[in-house]
Chains A and B, each alone.
Chain A
Amino acid sequence: MRIMVLAETQKALTELCAGASQISPQVEAVIIGDQLKVVADTIWYIPAQEYAMLEDYTESIAALIKQEKPELIIVEPTKRYKLIAGRIAAMLGTTVITDVLELEKDFVAKRMVYGGTAIRTEKVVSGSTIVMVGSGVLQSKSVTEVTVREERPVQFIEPKIRLKRIAREEKERVAVDLPGAKVVVGIGRGIAEQKDLEMIKQLALALKGEIGCTRPIAEAEKWMPKETYLGVSGLIIAPEVYIAIGISGQIQHTVGINRSKLIVSINKEKSAPIFKQSDYGIVGDLYKVLPALIKHFG
C-alpha cells in the first residue's frame, strides 16, 4: 500500500512519515525545493520556483496524485494545506477528512463534530483517501533514520491562477511546544489578573511543563497567544499530566485535554464540572494552593 505525505514543517514531515511507516512500509513524501530534510523512502521532488507560494504547487501535486494513485494521502493540517488539499480534492472529485483524531484500520477516521459534543467516525468512499492529521495522532515507536531509496522528480505545472504576494511578515514566534509537552498547566477564568501569570510561569517551570489556556483567556482577555488555547478550534493535546487551574470544565475546553493520562484540577467551586473529569483535585483558592505547590516542587 502506498502512502503519500505532504507537510509544511519539518517537525510534521518527520512525525507523519514515521507514523505512516507504521501503517505501510511504502512511505513517499512530496518535497518542494530544498527546505525540508527527507525522512521517507521515496521522495517526489518538485523544484522550487521563483516567487512561488506553496499554493502555486497545487496543480503539480494534484497531477502527481492522479498519476501515482496512492491509497492514502496524509497532510499536515496547516491553513495553507487546508486550502491546497481542498482544491486537490475538488480536482480529483473526492474530499478531505480534516483534523483527524484517530486513524484506524481501512482508513476509518474519527473527528470531533458539534463543537466537541460528539465524535464522528467516517471514511472516504471515492478514490484516494486524503486525511489531515495533527501532531500526536499517528503513533510511532521511534523516529528512525530512513535512507532515501529513490528520488523522483516531479514536473512543475504552471498554475492557471497565481496570487500576487505584496507583503509578508513573520508573526512573533510563540515558543511553546504544547503537543509535545509531558506536563501542561492550563489556565482559565479563575485567574484574576494578567500579572498572576508570573505565578503560573513559576509553577510550569517547577514542573518542567508548558502553559496552555482556555479560549477566553486567549481571545477575550488576550493574556496568552491564540496558538496556546486548548479545545474546540484550538489545540488537542494528550500530555502525561494536565493541571487545570481556575478552569470550570466546559466541554469546549475539555475536548482538548480529555486524552491526558492524568488530570489534576484546582478550582474554588466545588461544583465545577472539571472535578468530575479529574484524577486529583483540590477545592480551594488557587492563590493559596499555587504558592505552596511552587515552594514544594520548585
Chain B
Amino acid sequence: MKIITCIKVVPEEQDIVIKADGELSFDRAKPTISAYDLNAVEAGAQLLEECGGDFIALSVGSGGIDNPKLKKNILSRGPESLVMVADDRLKDLDTHQTAKVLKAAIEKVGEYDLILCGEGSSDLYAQQVGPQLGQLLNVPTINSVSKITQSDGKIVVQRTLENEVETLESVLPALVIVTSDINLPRIATMSHVLAAGKKPATVWTLEDIGVLELFNTIEVIDTRAPQQVERKQDIVEGDTDEAIQEFITKLSTVLAK
C-alpha cells in the first residue's frame, strides 16, 4: 500500500509569547510537528508495518520548514521518505490554499492508495484541510476515524461521531482523517533518529509543483490574546468552619439572584 501522511509544521505552542499589547510573538517558537498529525504519522507507520509498501510524509509551508532537525524528527517516526514544498510564498496559508498546494504536491508524487491527515492543526485547528483536500483529489474522504484496517485494496474504518460509532468500507485510493485517540504515537529511539538522517528528503518550490497562483479565501483581521474579564477575586482563605460559613454567605447572595 502506498501511503502519504500530510503534516503541518507549527510554532512550538509553549514558546509563543503574549506581548504587552496582546499580540503574539513567535520569535522564540521553534518549528515542530502539529500534535494531531503525529497520530496520522503513527497510523501510517502501523499500516506500513502490517502490509508493507511505501510511506511518504508530505508537508507544505514557508521556507523555514526546510529545517534539518525537523526533517529528522518527521523521518524518525516511521515515514520512509519526506517531501516538502517549502517556499516563502506559502507563509500563513488558509485552509483552501493549503489543500490546493497539497493536491498539487500529491499529484507530482504520483500514485497513492491512502492519504492520512490529522484531525486539525494544533495551531489554528480549523479541521478543514483534510475534507477540502479529499474533495480536490476526488477520492472517498472520511473524517473522525478511530480505527483503520485494510484488505484486498479496500479499507474498513471505524468512525466515532458525537452519538454513534459507524463502520465504513471504502475503496482505495481514499483520504482518511484520524482522531487524536486512534493510537499512541511512538517515541523515536536513538537508532530511529540516526536512520532518519539517511532517508531521502526532497524539497520543492511552487514552480516545481506547477502552482502559479494562490488567492486568499480568508482575510485575517487580527490575532491577539483574549481580553481578561475583570473578576472580583473575593477569595476567602482557609477552611475553618467560620471561613466556610463566610464563603457560603457570599455564595448565597449571588446564587439567590
Chain A interface residues (CB < 8 Å from chain B):
78-80, 82-87, 89-91, 93-99, 108, 112-126, 160-161, 163-171, 173, 183, 207, 219, 227, 233, 241, 255, 258-259, 262-264, 270, 275-285, 288-289, 292-293, 296-297
**How many residues on B have C-beta within 8 angstroms of the other chain's C-beta atoms?**
77
Q: Are A241 and B254 touching (Cβ within 8 A)?
A: yes
Q: Which residues of B contact A219 (CB under 8 A)?
A: 181
B95 (CB) vs chain A CBs: closest residue = A95
Question: Could you say which of A119, A124, A285 contacts B218, with CB atoms under 8 Å apart?
Answer: A124
Q: Are A120 and B220 touching (Cβ within 8 A)?
A: yes
Q: Which residues of A contact B132 (CB under 8 A)?
A: 86-87, 89-90, 95
Least Cβ distance of B72 to chain A in Å?
A: 25
- Docked pose: A236 CA to B108 CA in angstroms: 41
Q: Are B128 and A280 touching (Cβ within 8 A)?
A: no
Q: Are A264 and B165 touching (Cβ within 8 A)?
A: no
- Docked pose: A118 CA to B25 CA in angstroms: 11
Q: Which residues of A contact B122 (CB under 8 A)?
A: 115
30 A–B contacts, CB within 8 A, in A order = A85-B128, A85-B131, A90-B135, A95-B96, A99-B125, A117-B16, A119-B223, A120-B124, A120-B220, A120-B222, A121-B220, A121-B222, A123-B218, A160-B138, A161-B140, A163-B169, A168-B164, A207-B255, A277-B228, A279-B232, A280-B251, A281-B234, A282-B239, A282-B243, A282-B244, A284-B244, A285-B239, A289-B244, A293-B248, A297-B255
Q: Are A167 and B166 touching (Cβ within 8 A)?
A: yes
- Docked pose: A276 CA to B230 CA in angstroms: 9
Among B52-60, B141-149, B186-194, B205-213, the stretch in contact with A:
B141-149
Q: Which residues of B contact A293 (CB under 8 A)?
A: 248, 251
Question: Could you say which of A89, A165, A183, A283 contacts B96, with CB atoms under 8 Å apart?
Answer: A89
DSSP class of A's interface residues: helix, strand, loop or mixed?
Answer: mixed
Binary flags per residue of B145-170, CB closer than 8 Å to A gives 1, else 0:
00000000000100011111111111
> 8 closest pairs, A vs B, by CB?
A86-B131, A284-B239, A90-B135, A126-B217, A167-B167, A90-B132, A87-B135, A95-B217
- Asked whether A114 and B140 contact (CB < 8 A) given A78-B162, A119-B226, A166-B167, the answer is no
DSSP class of B's interface residues: helix, strand, loop or mixed?
Answer: mixed
Q: Which residues of A contact B234 (CB under 8 A)?
A: 279-281
Q: Which residues of A contact B20 (CB under 8 A)?
A: none
Q: Which residues of B contact A82 (CB under 8 A)?
A: 127-128, 131, 143
- Docked pose: A168 CA to B135 CA in angstroms: 24
A260 (CB) vs chain B CBs: closest residue = B229
- Docked pose: A122 CA to B96 CA in angstroms: 14
- Docked pose: A30 CA to B68 CA in angstroms: 50
B195 close to chain A: CB less than 8 A: no
Q: Which residues of A contact B162 (CB under 8 A)?
A: 78-79, 171, 227
- Docked pose: A164 CA to B134 CA in angstroms: 17
B156 (CB) vs chain A CBs: closest residue = A166
Least Cβ distance of B142 to chain A in Å?
A: 7
- Docked pose: A288 CA to B236 CA in angstroms: 14
Q: Are B156 and A86 touching (Cβ within 8 A)?
A: no
Question: Could you say which of A98, A207, A282, A288 contacts B127, with CB atoms under 8 Å apart?
Answer: A98
Binary flags per residue of B219-242, CB closer than 8 Å to A gives 1, else 0:
111111110110111111111010
Question: Could you say which of B142, B243, B250 contacts A280, with CB atoms under 8 Å apart?
Answer: B250
Q: Which residues of B contact A98 (CB under 8 A)?
A: 125-128
Least Cβ distance of A72 to chain B in Å?
A: 15
Q: Which residues of A contact B216 (CB under 8 A)?
A: 125-126
B51 close to chain A: CB less than 8 A: no
